[in-house]
């Protein structure tokens, strides 16, 4: 696998119900990793063998680690189930170099993000980048319940730095309603850039709302 890097799982963290975070570092200690940009993903070569893509969620300025989060999908074809059941800190993995098919426009007057479930991961990386640059952003973050929502405290801390706003929607909690994607899009300023990552239903609503 000459096109991959050998990385070690330095730590695994519980981020929310059925969501595990993985911190990956170079197998050779203190070796910097290749740079990446907000929105990038890597391919993990898992036991099986399986290859699955996951978005990088840590600050792009970090060169000592890559961080991903994996949701255990009830309909898993083996990838997320393998991560949760078989991976452990200290293991070595082959990991691809970062690629970015979902880039962030850092020059936008305002960046608006719509995230559903584990779709928060690439958008968290974008928020981190904009917070570093001091650029304004708004995030609408939907999850089934607060227990299923990853990185809530991290997002609130980033918003508290100034320049950012977070709206959480937990649509399966008593009295809650689903995130109205069409209303979010309709309220956008003309010069705002909007990004969406989430389940198929959310993406379909987003595409319909932005068709014009």
- Say which residue the tokens 């309603």 belong to: 177
Whole-angstrom Cα distance, residue 136 to residue 113? 11
Contact partners, residue 173, CB within 8 Å, separation at least 6? 145, 146
| pTM score above 0.85 | yes
Number of Cα atoms under 13 Å in the Cβ half of residue 212: 6
Please state the separation of Cα 150 from the chain's center in Å.
9
Whole-angstrom Cα distance, residue 44 to residue 47? 10
Judge whether residue 76 has pLDDT over 80.
Answer: no
Contact partners, residue 138, CB within 8 Å, separation at least 6? 110, 111, 112, 113, 164, 165, 166, 167
Judge whether residue 1 has pLDDT over 50.
Answer: no
Judge whether residue 118 has pLDDT over 50.
Answer: yes
Q: Provide long-range contacts, Cβ within 8 A and 24+ apart, for 26-35.
A: 27/92, 30/64, 32/63, 32/64, 33/5, 33/7, 33/63, 33/64, 33/65, 33/66, 34/5, 34/97, 34/98, 35/60, 35/63, 35/98
Sheet holding 110-116, edge to edge: 164-170, 137-143, 110-116, 192-197
Question: pLDDT digits over 49-60, tens only?
Answer: 999 999 999 999
Res. 2 pLDDT band, cuts 50 70 90: low
State the pLDDT at residue 70.
98
Please, where are the H alpha helices in 78-169? 79-86, 120-133, 152-160
Contact partners, residue 165, CB within 8 Å, separation at least 6? 137, 138, 139, 159
Contact partners, residue 92, CB within 8 Å, separation at least 6? 6, 7, 8, 9, 27
Please tell me whether residue 110 adopts helix, strand or coil conformation.
strand
Q: Is the peptide bond before 49 cis (omega within 30 degrees of 0)?
A: yes
If you average pLDDT over residues 124-144, what whole number do you get?
A: 97
If you average pLDDT over residues 126-131, what whole number do you get?
A: 98
State the pLDDT at residue 73.
87
If you average pLDDT over residues 154-162, what whole number do you get?
A: 95
Q: Which tokens hold the place of 198?
A: 């989430």
């Amino acid at each position: 696998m000459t096109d991959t890097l050998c990385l070690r799982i330095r730590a695994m963290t519980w981020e929310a119900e059925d969501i595990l975070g993985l911190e990956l570092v170079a197998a050779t200690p203190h070796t910097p990793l290749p740079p990446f940009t907000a929105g990038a993903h890597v391919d993990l070569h898992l036991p099986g063998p399986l290859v699955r893509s996951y978005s990088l969620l840590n600050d792009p300025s970090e060169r000592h680690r890559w961080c991903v989060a994996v949701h255990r999908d009830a309909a898993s074809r083996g990838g997320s189930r393998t991560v949760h059941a078989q991976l452990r800190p200290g293991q070595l993995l082959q990991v691809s170099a970062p690629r970015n098919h979902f880039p962030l426009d850092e020059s936008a007057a305002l960046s608006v993000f719509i995230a559903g479930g584990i779709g928060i991961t690439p958008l968290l990386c974008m928020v981190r980048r904009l917070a570093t640059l001091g650029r304004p952003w708004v995030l609408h973050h939907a999850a089934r319940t607060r227990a299923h929502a990853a990185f809530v405290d991290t997002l609130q801390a980033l918003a508290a730095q100034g320049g950012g706003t977070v709206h959480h929607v937990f649509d399966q909690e008593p009295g809650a309603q689903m995130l109205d994607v069409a209303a979010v899009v309709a309220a956008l300023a003309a010069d705002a850039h909007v990004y969406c990552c989430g389940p198929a239903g959310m993406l379909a609503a987003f595409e319909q709302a932005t068709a014009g």
